[in-house]
Structure 1
Amino acid sequence: MTIEIANESGVGVDEAALVALAGHVLGQMGINPLAELSILVVDEAAMSALHEQWMGEAGPTDVLAFPMDELRPNQGGGSRGEEAAPDPALLGDVVLCPPVAAKQAAEAGHTAQDELEMLCTHGILHLLGYDHAEPEEHAEMFGLQGELLESWREVRRKPPE
């Protein structure tokens, strides 16, 4: 996988952990190992501008996803348990906002890094065609998000060999 990250937020984040997480999520989802993904970490002003421009909503949000190729995990080999997608794909961009994530993390009672990892996973699932507009979609997407984060945490807990 080619996973690029750019931190333009002015906030220190564990970029290596976010890249490793993204690789884990894409691997678990059976995405072609030659796929490309970009993660952009921005401040509240930049996120507000993107949020308004692309979603028509004022103010910052926690995560935005901008898909490039129309890749759906349940079609053409992207879901777990299937062969990897035959062609590499330019998946798109996940944009994260650490200041918003930190506020949400404080409210939820976990670390800002945990929140960023959840948001990154959420954004990747959007790039892969998942959505949560309908109750069934919500249950599927958030269930999968939870499974992926749990498997990521298990990987991180294992001592190096």
Structure 2
Amino acid sequence: MSIEVNNESGAEVPATELTAVARYVLDRLDVHPAAELSMVFVDLEAMSELHEHWMDLPGPTDVMSFPMDEMTPGGRPDASAPGPAMLGDIVICPQFAAQQAKQAGHSVERELTLLTIHGVLHLLGYDHAEPDEEKEMFELQNGLLEDWFETRRAEARKAAQVERDRRLLGKVGLLNDPDESR
């Protein structure tokens, strides 16, 4: 799976983390491992231009998705015979995301993670124009978001336990560090 990241926003973004989120979503939805996508981070001005040009709406927005292939066949995991494809581009505005995070009362990291998941789902053909589509997409999005953070918490707990075990075993002399014998 290839995920290209281009940060044109002037803001620092956790590109490695957001790439991992996108990969997690694609894996969870059984998207072909040879699929490709691009993530672009832009400033408020660039996002405003895109939003006005493509959606005919004024001002910036948080995330826009530009599917490359029309998902036939494949794309959504419930479609027949999914195969490798250039999924398209996800464009995210970190400055807009920071404003939304503040209003929502959560971290910018969580907002960027949410927007990454939202963008990937759009590339896979999910939409929220109709109430039934919105329900399906947002339930899936929220489930993936919570699963992602739970996976990260579990990994952190495991790493902390490994570190505690390493310190304990080292204190009681049960851990032989080959570097200590030199």
TM-score of the superposed pair, with normalisation by structure 1: 0.91
In the alignment, structure 1 segments of 5+ residues that lack a partner are: 78-84
Give per-residue Cα distances to partners, 1:118-153, cap 9 Å, x unaligned. 011001101100001111111100000011111111
The residue aligned with 2:35 is 35
Partner of 1:102: 98
1:76 alignment partner in structure 2: 80
Give the 3-state SS of the residue equivalent to 2:129 in structure 1: coil
Q: Deviations over 1:21-58 (max 9, x none)?
A: 00000000100001001000000011011111111111
**SS at 1:6 equivalent:** strand
Q: Structure 1 CA distance, aligned partners of 2:42 and 2:152?
A: 26
Larger Rg: 2
1:49 is aligned to: 49
Q: Which runs of 4+ in 1 moved over 2 A?
A: none
Shift of 1:76: 1.9
Alignment partners' CA distance in 1, 2:80 and 2:151: 27
**Partner Cα distance (1:76, 1:155) in 2:** 29
1:129 is matched with: 125
> Partners of 2:146 and 2:69 in 1: how far apart?
27
Matched, 1:6 2:10: no
Q: Aligned letter for 2:142?
A: G
Q: Does 1:67 align with 2:73?
A: no
| TM-score normalised by length of structure 2 | 0.81
CA distance in 2 between partners of 1:146 and 1:61 (Å): 20
Residue type of the partner of 2:5? I
Partner of 1:140: 136
- 2: distance between equivalents of 1:134 and 1:141? 10
When the two chains are superposed, the root-mean-square deviation of aligned CA atoms in Å is 1.1
Tell me which of the two structures has the higher relative contact order, counting C-alpha pairs closer than 8 angstroms and 6 or more residues apart: 1
Give the secondary structure class of the aligned counterpart of 1:38.
strand
Q: Using the alignment, how far apart are the partners of 2:120 and 2:140 within structure 1?
A: 12
CA distance in 2, matches of 1:130, 1:124: 9
Identity of aligned residues (%): 54
Give the Cα–Cα distance (whole angstroms) in 1 for the partners of residues 29 and 123 of structure 2: 12
Structure 2 distance, partners of 1:45, 1:107, is 21
More helix by share: 2
The secondary structure found in structure 1 opposite 2:80 is coil
